[in-house]
Amino acid sequence: MTPALIALDWGTSSLRGFLMDASGAVLDSRASPHGITNLPAPAPEGFDLAFEALCGAWLQEDPTLPVVACGMVGSGQGWREAPYVACPADLQRLAGQAVGVMTRQGIGLLIAPGVLADPPGGTPDVIRGEEIQIAGALAQQPGLAARGHFLMPGTHSKWVAVEDGRIIRFATYMTGELFAVLRQHSLLGRLMPAGEEGHPDEAAAAFARGLQLARDSHPGDLTRQIFAARSLGLTRQLAPAVLKDFLSGLLIGHELVSGLAAAGRDTPLALIGEPALCDCYATALAALGAAPPRRLGNTAPAGLFHFARAAGLLATARGMTP
C-alpha cells in the first residue's frame, strides 16, 4: 500500500512513529526513547534530531508525506506549545486549534492541542495525548460516541466521559506516579527489594489485600493505610517481595473507588493503555464488582489518522475527502 501519513505519539519518555496508508492502516512503526525529557541534544535541535532519526527513512522515500503529532511534544516543554482546548471538545475543535512547527529540513509538522476541564467551583484538569486516543477509540467503536466512559491507566490515570462525540469532563489520578515515588523515594521502599518478584499466588493475594483495604476505607484513610505497606513487612505478615503488590492494589483500589463513584458503578468502561497495566486494572475492577470493561488496545494511530483528516492534511496531500 502507498504511504499517506506519518503519525507521531510523542510522550515524556518515549516517541512512537507510525507510517500509515490512505485507509488508516499502519504500514510500519518505530519506537525511540527520545521523549521530550530525553532528547539526543538540547531543544530545539534535539527535537529535529529525534524526528530525523525516527522518520528520516520514511521521508527519504516520500518527502511530501504530511506529519502529525500528539502528546507532550505540544506542551510548554515541547517543540511548540499547542494551547489547551476547553471542554466540551471534539476532533474538529482539536484540528481547528492545532499548531504547526517547521523542522530544519523544511518538513511541516502539525501538533494536536490538549484539552482543559475547568468546571465552575472546581479545580482545573488537563489531558494531552489522551484526547487523540479517545478520537481513535470513537473511530473504531462508534457506538461509544453517544455516551462513553474511558479509563486510561498510567503514570497519571485518566477517567474521561464522552457524550455526542465530545469530551465533556475528565479526572486525573496520579496513581502510577505516587506508586513510583513511594516505592523509590520513601521509607516504605526500603523494605521492597528492587527487581525481586514474589510467588505469583502470594503477589496476587497481596494485591487483593490492598484492594480490599481500599474498598472498605473511609474518607481520609489513604495516608494512614499507605503505612501498612511498611507495617505489614515489619511484622512479616507479607513477604518483602510482595509489599509492592499490596501497595499497588491499595492505590489502584482507591482510584477505582473514587472513579466508579463518579462514573456510576454500572457505567460500562472502556480500557485504553498498556496491556499489562490494563490487565491489572481489569482484575481490580472485577474484584470490586464493577461491570467488565471493554478492551480497546492502542488507539493512538487511529486517532492521529482521523486528526490529520479533520485538519485537511490528507485531503491536501492525497485528494481525500475529510
Structure confidence at residue 148 (pLDDT): 92
Say what the pLDDT of residue 320 is.
32
Residue with cell 466508579: 260
Buried b (16+ CB within 10 A) or exposed e, 47-73: bbebbbebbeebbeeeeebbbbbbbbb
Alpha-carbon distance values, 150 to 9, 104, 255 (Å): 19, 38, 14
Residue 315's pLDDT is what?
60
List of the chain residues with pLDDT < 70: 315-322
Q: Is this structure's pTM higher than 0.85?
A: yes
Give residue 50's pLDDT.
Answer: 98
In this structure, how many other beta carbons lie within 10 angstroms of the beta carbon of residue 271?
Answer: 21
pLDDT score of 316 = 46
What pLDDT is attached to residue 22? 95
Type and span of the H or E element at 70: strand 67-71
The Cα–Cα gap between 130 and 142 comes to 17
- Judge contact between 56 and 63, C-beta under 8 A: no
How far apart (Å, rounded) are the C-alpha atoms in residues 136 and 138?
5
Q: Which three cell numbers stand for residue 221?
A: 484513610
Output DSSP code: residue 18.
E
- Evaluate whether 303 touches 137 at the Cβ level (below 8 Å): yes
Predicted local distance difference test score (pLDDT) of residue 196: 86
The grid coordinates listed for 267 are 457505567
